[in-house]
Chain A
Amino acid sequence: MDIAATQELNVLLVEDDKQKAQSLIGALDRSQYCIRHITTTGMPLLKQVEALQPDVIVIDVESPSRDVLESLSIISLANPKPIVMFSEQNDTETISQSVKSGVSAYIAGDIAFERVRSILDTAVARFSEYQLLKKELVHTKQKLSSQRVVEQAKIWLMETKNLTEKEAYHRIRKMAMDNSQKLEEVARSILSLAKMLEKSS
């Protein structure tokens, strides 16, 4: 995703401290950013992220909500978002140097604010790359799960039709060839049939 410098970036600022929030908002150019400021945590925060769909989230490095936001890219079904952290502590520069890739970026409290735009843009770009990698991983997982479905269908055939494992597999394969379907599709049909039979019995 290439964000042109002229395009407005939707920024969600999560900060309890109004003063801190104001100084950060003040430093960002209003013509380039559409900034929403919220102070919620926990579930309400997740709902806001879902509703507002920001391009990037900006959060205090010491906020407990960081784990919540970061996890969106690891386990949650919700749309993951790039996160940029800010801090007033001097050690942030050190952290920033060590966090060169990944989904997060750091900005120190006393930074030159001309750099903010580039930091935000970089964070968004890096994040897109990361997402691409994630998608590939999901693809691999799907492959594995399709093997599992075939396995389950085989077991059902073995148990209900009294077949050996080899016979069960051949039956699924024959059905797939006859109907020009994938093994996985046939296995899924078998399993849903099995479910229906179970219900009616």
Chain B
Amino acid sequence: MIKESQPRYLVEKSDINIGFMPLADCAPLAVALEQGYFKEQGLNVTLKKQYSWATMRDKLHAGVLDAAQLLAPMPLASSLGINGEKHQVIAPMVLSQNGNAITLSMALYEEVKAFNKLTTLDIPLSAGLLKPIIKARKSVGQKLTFATVYPHSCHYYQLCSWFEHNNIAIDDVEILIITPVNMVEALRSEDIDGFCVGGPWNAKAVRDGVGVTCVTSCDIWPNIPEKVLGMLADWQKSYPETTKALIYALRKACNWLSNVANRFEAARLLSQHQYLDLHLSVIAPSLIGSCLVHHQQSPRHVPSYNQFSSEGAECINRPDHFKGEWLLSHMCKVGQVSSDKLSKNIVAEVFRQDIYQQTFAPKFLVSDIDETTTDIAEQA
């Protein structure tokens, strides 16, 4: 009974530019394009590779990009006006969750063992084991230095949480922002003692023998949106059916990615020049649920390391308000916004689970859709 997929929506605009970052979790966008899911919905999508989140944000604000793969806290930051000019940006779909990890330099890893008189370290590592080192550095007026990729990112909040869970004050360490491509080099040159980034940069550091991936975002706070589909609220108002078509195609890509074998294929795809332009051996691990830990040790099995879809009742692609609240609470916690100045509806205005739900509303369930689409509707 599987029929040719057909467009489900009367799209108002077919030529669409979507910005993406060359990271492992841009997979849903690449897959939707390469598998023809956008085309099925009557969309002529061009994926535009970006090199900084700040420029991606400005292009989205200016309408140079129709939509973008954004760090989950970014639409909140834009709508609050704490990230460049204030613009109402919405997130009608979650593209992925998890995928980040904290990698320590070889030198710090050895120091942790020595200071705590341990021959091996339990992974996931407790930040508590860093305490004696932080204290020793403090006595000589120094701090451990960690790098992450962007201030309004889960990476930054997760790094802070890892310290806070173990009663380490954020002020006792130095946190810098550097570009993902420069992370491994910074670790190698010991300019930094550790970093929190997404794939493929943790795997790269381990493969190169310059770092040890001690803890993943799944260990710190699992199952929180990592990347979302972002667009201006006004754009969605002008093109409501196009928005649904985008969500539908991307959800189909996410479903395709639920299969490990397919995720390996995605890794192969992403290694190409127009995407990550890196070797498969560093892109594949996180995508297939393998966390490389140390270049001389076995990898860890972390099944939801890069997660794009879920089975069962809880749908990770729906931008649930309580997950938005979680992100917002961390923005407040690190002092990026003060909680007393927030409007009550901010999360509901940004995390548009209503648009997501409308996309898969039963009234669209006509008999001529294929089995995959039926599955999607049921799960949504």
Contacts and interface: CB of A to CB of B under 8 A. Distances in A.
A100 B147 CA distance: 30
A64 B175 contact: no
A183 to B, nearest CB: 21
A120 to B, nearest CB: 18
Nearest to B179: A64
B136 interface: no
A58 B335 CA distance: 28
Interface in A80-129: 85, 91, 94-95, 97-104, 106
A45 to B, nearest CB: 8
B177 A68 contact: yes
Given A43-B186, A68-B177, A99 B58 contact: yes
B54 A95 contact: no
B178 A100 contact: no
A65 B64 CA distance: 21
A94 B64 contact: yes
A42 B182 contact: yes
Contact of B177 (A75, A98, A99, A100): A75
A75 B59 contact: no
Contacts of A46: 176, 178
Contacts of A141: 335
Nearest to B160: A75
Given A94-B64, A104-B54, A104-B84, A42 B59 contact: no
B240 interface: no
Contacts of B34: none
A43 B177 contact: no
A72 B176 CA distance: 8
Interface string B44-64: 000000011111001101111
A62 interface: yes
Interface in B181-204: 181-183, 185-186, 189, 191-192
B62 A99 contact: yes
Contact of A76 (B176, B179, B186, B191): B176
B371 interface: no
Contacts of B336: 74
A140 interface: yes
B65 to A, nearest CB: 9
Interface centre among B62, B174, B180, B186 (most CB of A within 10 A): B62
A151 interface: no
Given A95-B59, A140-B338, A43 B64 contact: no
A63 interface: yes
A94 B177 contact: no
A67 B58 contact: no
Contacts of B338: 137, 140
Contacts of B53: 67
Given A42-B186, A75-B175, A76-B177, A67 B150 contact: yes
A95 to B, nearest CB: 4
B320 to A, nearest CB: 27
Nearest to B171: A77
Interface in B56-82: 58-59, 61-64
Contact of B179 (A41, A62, A94): A41
A98 B61 contact: yes
A188 interface: no
A51 B28 CA distance: 42
A71 interface: yes
Nearest to B151: A74
13 contacts: A43-B186, A46-B176, A67-B150, A67-B177, A75-B151, A75-B177, A75-B334, A76-B176, A91-B64, A94-B62, A95-B59, A98-B87, A104-B54
Given A64-B182, A67-B179, 13 more contacts: A42-B181, A64-B179, A67-B149, A70-B54, A71-B176, A74-B151, A91-B62, A95-B58, A98-B61, A98-B63, A102-B84, A103-B84, A141-B335
Interface of B: 51-55, 58-59, 61-64, 84-85, 87, 147, 149-151, 156, 174-183, 185-186, 189, 191-192, 334-336, 338
